Amino acid sequence: MSLQLEKDANVSLQTHIDEFSSRFSILIVFWLLISLIWMFKVDLILEYIVSILDPCDNNSCSNLYNPAKWSEVRWLTGALLGFVTLLPIIASQFYKFSRPGLMKNEAKGLIFWLFFCIIGFITNIIATIVFIMPGLFGLGHQIQIELGFEAKYDIVAMLSMSIGVIWVEVLIIMGILTLMIANYTDNISDRNLGWWKIRVHGIISMLIILSFYGQVSLTLFLLLLSYLSIEIITFTWIKNPSKLQLDSPIIFDQYGAGRKFLFAQCECGNKDIFENYPFNNAYYSFNNLCENINEQETLYQLINTNSFTDLIVFGCQKYEKLNKIEPNIFISKCNLRNDFSTHKISNYTNSQQFLSNTDLRIASLIDPWNDDQSFQKIIEKLEKHVNCKPIILSNNDFFQFPDNIESNDLIIYTSDIVKKKLIKEFDKMNKTYTIR
């Protein structure tokens, strides 16, 4: 299942297919029309390109030995020129179709990728035809002259070789740009880096194999060249961890499953007072998580990047609005817990009491810790607050909160087993407490 984002319409797959088909059909029609227009000038263009590629003066070395192939090259060149002309429109249509299903950082990455791929594609064509291929043909021509051969070159072969070189260069450039832009926009993390590389290398390798089918030695060389080029160039760019990577210990529950917690504060207009708070688990503060779509998308990225299994949101004044993002959190293989649903600064008399109760609320968590661990942590926290009065509530209903609390009250949500142990311990200590 995929995330259901706010901008993405909840429609059937067929609706998306119909939209894609209509956009694709329009682009095909425009491509054919523009390619036909280019065909009126394609001979002049090819003549100019051949004059650049020919290593001899006055084009005395090149000749046309296969007229049928020349017709094929003419149509292919016209189609390529039509495609290059339409690149901005193709990129625009592709972005408009994809944007509703993308998160903010993914949409940003797609814009960068489309822009730099277009620039790289056009620049690569010009550089290859004007500089790279003439240099290679000139080197080969010089070697032939030194060996005493008479230089005669097939125009079709020269153009086909140039197109092949441009195609491989474009694939490598697109692979490099894909990894670099995905890393820059925080779409790559330690968790999914391997999958990104598998997809990039897999697609490029498949296209190379299909493009040079039957030429085993050349195909193997190009596969090795593309892999090494992408890995060497991107190595120094994608080795840094994602900006969304948070330190969080793995806690094993009673079944041996690893759990990772994310404590997220929804400030709802209040100031973040936890900036220097010593959280033992991952912590992230949002300005308005319950209503801000961009912050909700950041939350999904945090969960996916760090593989969080448990999410506890606190401080939110409109907690019920978080219910709309619970399905996406569940799809991300994370559990939105309501343990801290009433834990917000407006329920306490001052910020210090809010911080003290945060200590106790974290200590009183049962799952994945057991009752004995919870009891010991609660006692340890209470030893630091000797003058405070505990108020014990059942953890069956985290939406319940006592009315008219005093500044020295500490709220404890706990299980019946821990409640009995606490009562026994408080009685032993002659400590005043309240049961609600």
DSSP 55-121: -SGGG-SEE-S-HHHHHHHHHHHHHHHHHHHHHHHHHHHHHHHHGGGS-HHHHHHHHHHHHHHHHHH
* CA atoms 31, 33, 34, 36: torsion sign: positive
Report CA torsion sign: 374, 380, 382, 385. Answer: negative
Greatest pairwise CA separation for the chain in angstroms: 109
Q: pTM of the full predicted structure?
A: 0.85
Kind plus residue range of the DSSP H or E element containing 378: helix 371-382
What's residue 241's pLDDT? 67
Nearest to 389 by CA among 341, 362, 342, 349: 349
Task: Give the other-Cβ count within 10 Å of 232's Cβ.
Answer: 10
Alpha-carbon gap, residue 329 to 299, rounded angstroms: 9
pLDDT of residue 162: 94
* Contact between 381 and 363 (Cβ < 8 Å): yes
Q: What is the pLDDT of residue 38?
A: 96
Backbone angles phi, psi at 389, to 5 degrees: -110, 120
* Residues whose CB falls within 8 Å of the CB of residue 116, separated by 6 or more in sequence, listed in order: 177, 181
- What pLDDT does 270 receive? 81
pLDDT, tens digit only, all 436 positions of the chain: 567 676 666 778 888 899 999 999 999 999 999 999 999 999 999 999 999 999 987 767 888 888 888 999 999 999 999 999 999 999 999 999 999 889 999 999 999 999 999 999 999 999 999 999 999 999 999 998 888 888 889 999 999 999 999 999 999 999 999 999 999 998 888 888 899 999 999 999 999 999 999 999 999 999 999 999 999 999 888 867 678 889 899 999 888 899 999 999 999 878 878 877 888 889 999 999 999 999 999 999 999 999 999 999 999 999 999 999 999 999 999 999 999 999 999 899 888 899 889 988 999 998 888 889 999 999 998 888 888 888 888 777 788 888 888 888 999 998 889 999 998 988 888 888 888 7
SS (H, E, C) 117-136: HHHHHHHHHHHHHHHHHHHH
Helix (H) or strand (E) holding 181: helix 155-184
CB count in 10 Å sphere of residue 57 = 7
Token pair 């094993």 in the structure block, residue = 252
Cα–Cα distance for residue pair 314/298, rounded to 1 Å: 17
Cα separation, 357 vs 273, whole angstroms? 13
> Are 172 and 229 spatial neighbours (Cβ–Cβ below 8 Å)?
yes
Contact present, 101 and 8 (Cβ < 8 Å)? yes
Q: How far apart are CA 189 and CA 280, in angstroms?
A: 22
pLDDT of 9: 61
